[in-house]
């Protein structure tokens, strides 16, 4: 029979702060020696007291405002109690019933169209230590604890069970990451564990039936894994239910290699954590003026920006989403538009999402936005050819260039003069009898070859479209 999936997503994200959540320790960096970023507070030593990180709280309030959530007048910290070696205090400071933000939503566009996912809550908590299981010096198995990550500020953001398939879950996680990066709340690099996605999945026979028993899936280390793990888990549960079996409430891990989920442990219910208000921290009043200043400081959000690019600049939905998906690309696009008034937005968008994003993904530095705008403007006015412009772009990302000066001093102006191009074409045709024979035999690609040769002869300065036209005319004569 057919089943409807009910999916809710919980995401933990490391906030972009200089220090940990409740102590002045620096955020550990890749390559730090174990247990070097610690102090009595994040080691959970008796008598050490927590001091909340203002920047972390501001970032969560900014996230709340960006997703249209409400923040309470007073928020509170709670202890989530459990015993495990990664938690030296025996509890984690978190937030239970007064989270920093509640009832928001995030726009999500999938292959089925535009929609949104409701956010139930967003709150702050502290990260735990890391366990490493390895062989000790004498060859026996040992479990080592690195407290560097203990106490790092985490945002936990939980959706309503609105999601029905893996694609929507993936798009939601991608959009949340983009939002967090745009407002500077987090870097959210999934591959570095800065963003951890967990999905709660259950099936029911119809949309008015009560929720089925849910399974939590963890260890999805990429957006692609999120989509595939959910699809796998939906199929697995359907198979169990179709065979007359029952679903066990449990936590399962996603195995990237075999592309399957496996049982990790029986699921704890929240009452097992025996939450109670944190006695070492007073409740936190959120001053409306403080919140208003945070809201006023928000940049343009991805959804707003995409809509503006389509309605004001005439870009396609696709072009707008490619630009907005990479904050660096959107920043270059905006800066170039500011530097060169009236620049063709569509052409600029093509240059940013084509040439720029290609080199940016290879790790290149950003070009100077004023010179980049001048380059695209020279292409728009047909002053230089596309070939010349690409060569200049490749040069300007490693060497500072003044585009106007370089075009003048190197004589790079595009040759659009028919007479000059005709003489180049005559030479090219004389030098390539095989291509002429091919063309006469009906091989259309001979024209592209001849255009290429003519471009080469013009040192990349020929107007490619005009060359094509003139070569076809010459061949027809």
Shortest Å distance, C-beta 39 to Zn ion:
3
Shortest Å distance, C-beta 41 to Zn ion:
5
Q: Which is nearer to Zn ion, 150 or 261 (CB)?
A: 150
Nearest to 269 by CA among 350, 214, 201: 214
Q: Which position has the token pair 């029952």?
A: 246
Return the range that interacts with Zn ion (CB under 5 A); candidates 15-23, 60-68, 251-259, 331-339. Answer: 15-23
Q: Which is nearer to Zn ion, 42 or 117 (CB)?
A: 42
Q: Which is nearer to Zn ion, 23 or 322 (CB)?
A: 23
Shortest Å distance, C-beta 26 to Zn ion:
9
Contact 387, 464 (CB under 8 A): yes
Shortest Å distance, C-beta 133 to Zn ion:
24
The rounded distance, in Å, linking the Cα atoms of 172 and 190 is 14
Give the residues across from 104 on adjacent strands.
Answer: 119
Shortest Å distance, C-beta 154 to Zn ion:
15
SS (H, E, C) 153-208: EEEEEEECCCECCHHHHHHHHHHHHHHHHHCCCCCCCHHHCCEEEEEEEEEECCCC
Shortest Å distance, C-beta 283 to Zn ion:
23
Q: Is 247 in the site for Zn ion (CB under 5 A)?
A: no
Q: Which is nearer to Zn ion, 25 or 424 (CB)?
A: 25
Binding mask 288-317 for Zn ion (x = CB under 5 A): ------------------------------
Q: Which is nearer to Zn ion, 41 or 369 (CB)?
A: 41
Shortest Å distance, C-beta 151 to Zn ion:
5
Q: How many CA atoms lie within 13 A of 54 on its CB side?
A: 6
Nearest to 415 by CA among 388, 391, 436, 440: 388
Using CB under 5 A, which residues numbered 23 to 62 contact Zn ion? Answer: 23, 25, 39, 41-42
Nearest to 247 by CA among 206, 217, 208: 217
Q: How many CA atoms lie within 13 A of 240 on its CB side?
A: 16
Q: Which is nearer to Zn ion, 24 or 245 (CB)?
A: 24
Shortest Å distance, C-beta 354 to Zn ion:
46
Shortest Å distance, C-beta 40 to Zn ion:
7
Helices (H), 243-344: 288-296, 302-311, 317-325, 327-339
Return the range that interacts with Zn ion (CB under 5 A); candidates 18-26, 325-333, 447-455, 466-474. Answer: 18-26
Size of the site for Zn ion (CB under 5 A): 5
Q: Which is nearer to Zn ion, 42 or 360 (CB)?
A: 42
Contact 7, 203 (CB under 8 A): no
Q: Which is nearer to Zn ion, 5 or 42 (CB)?
A: 42
Using CA atoms of 260, 265, 270, 275 in order, give the dihedral in degrees to the nearest 10: -130
Query: Measured at the alpha carbon of residue 325, what is the angle toward residues 322 and 326, in degrees to the nearest 5?
Result: 100
Q: Which is nearer to Zn ion, 50 or 462 (CB)?
A: 50
The rounded distance, in Å, linking the Cα atoms of 302 and 308 is 10
Binding mask 379-418 for Zn ion (x = CB under 5 A): ----------------------------------------
Binding site for Zn ion (CB under 5 A): 23, 25, 39, 41-42
């Amino acid at each position: 029979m057919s089943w409807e999936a009910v999916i809710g997503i919980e995401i933990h994200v490391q906030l972009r702060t200089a220090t940990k959540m409740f102590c002045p320790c620096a955020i550990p960096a890749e390559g730090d020696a174990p247990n070097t970023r610690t102090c009595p507070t994040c080691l959970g030593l008796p008598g050490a007291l927590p001091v909340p990180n203002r920047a972390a709280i501001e970032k969560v309030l900014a996230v709340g405002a960006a997703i249209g959530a409400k923040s309470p007048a007073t928020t509170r910290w709670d202890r989530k109690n459990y015993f495990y070696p990664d938690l030296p205090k025996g509890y984690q400071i978190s937030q239970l019933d007064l989270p920093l933000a509640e009832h928001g939503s995030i726009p999500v566009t999938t292959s089925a169209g535009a929609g949104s996912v409701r956010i139930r809550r967003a709150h702050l908590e502290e990260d735990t230590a890391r366990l490493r299981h390895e062989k000790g010096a004498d060859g026996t198995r040992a479990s080592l604890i690195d407290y560097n990550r203990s106490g790092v500020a985490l945002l936990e953001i939980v959706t309503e069970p609105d999601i029905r398939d893996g694609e929507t879950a993936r798009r939601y996680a991608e959009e949340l990451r983009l939002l967090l990066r745009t407002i500077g709340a987090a870097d959210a690099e999934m591959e570095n564990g800065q963003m951890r996605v967990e999905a709660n999945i259950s099936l029911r026979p119809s949309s008015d039936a009560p929720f089925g028993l849910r399974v939590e899936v963890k260890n999805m280390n990429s957006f692609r894994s999120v989509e595939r793990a959910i699809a796998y888990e939906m199929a697995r549960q359907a198979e169990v239910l179709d065979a007359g079996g029952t679903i066990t409430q449990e936590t399962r891990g996603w195995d990237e290699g075999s592309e399957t989920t496996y049982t990790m442990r029986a699921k704890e219910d929240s009452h097992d954590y025996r939450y109670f208000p944190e006695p070492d921290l007073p409740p936190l009043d959120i001053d409306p003026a403080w919140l208003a200043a945070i809201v006023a400081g928000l940049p343009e959000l991805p959804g707003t920006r995409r809509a503006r690019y389509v309605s004001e600049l005439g870009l396609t939905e696709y072009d707008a989403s490619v630009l907005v998906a990479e904050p660096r690309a959107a920043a270059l696009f905006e800066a170039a538009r500011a530097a060169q008034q009236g620049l063709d937005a569509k052409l600029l968008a093509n240059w940013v999402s084509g040439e720029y994003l290609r080199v940016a993904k290879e790790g290149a530095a950003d070009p100077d936005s004023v010179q980049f705008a001048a380059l695209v403007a020279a292409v728009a006015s047909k002053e230089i050819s596309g070939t010349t412009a690409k060569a200049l772009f490749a040069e300007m990302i490693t060497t500072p260039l003044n585009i106007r000066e370089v075009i003048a001093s190197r004589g790079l102006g595009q040759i659009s003069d028919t007479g000059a191009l005709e003489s180049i074409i005559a030479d090219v045709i004389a030098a390539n009898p095989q291509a002429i024979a091919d063309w006469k035999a009906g091989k259309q690609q001979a024209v592209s070859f001849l255009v290429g040769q003519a471009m080469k002869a013009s040192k990349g300065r020929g107007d490619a479209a005009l060359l094509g036209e003139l070569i076809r005319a010459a061949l027809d004569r």
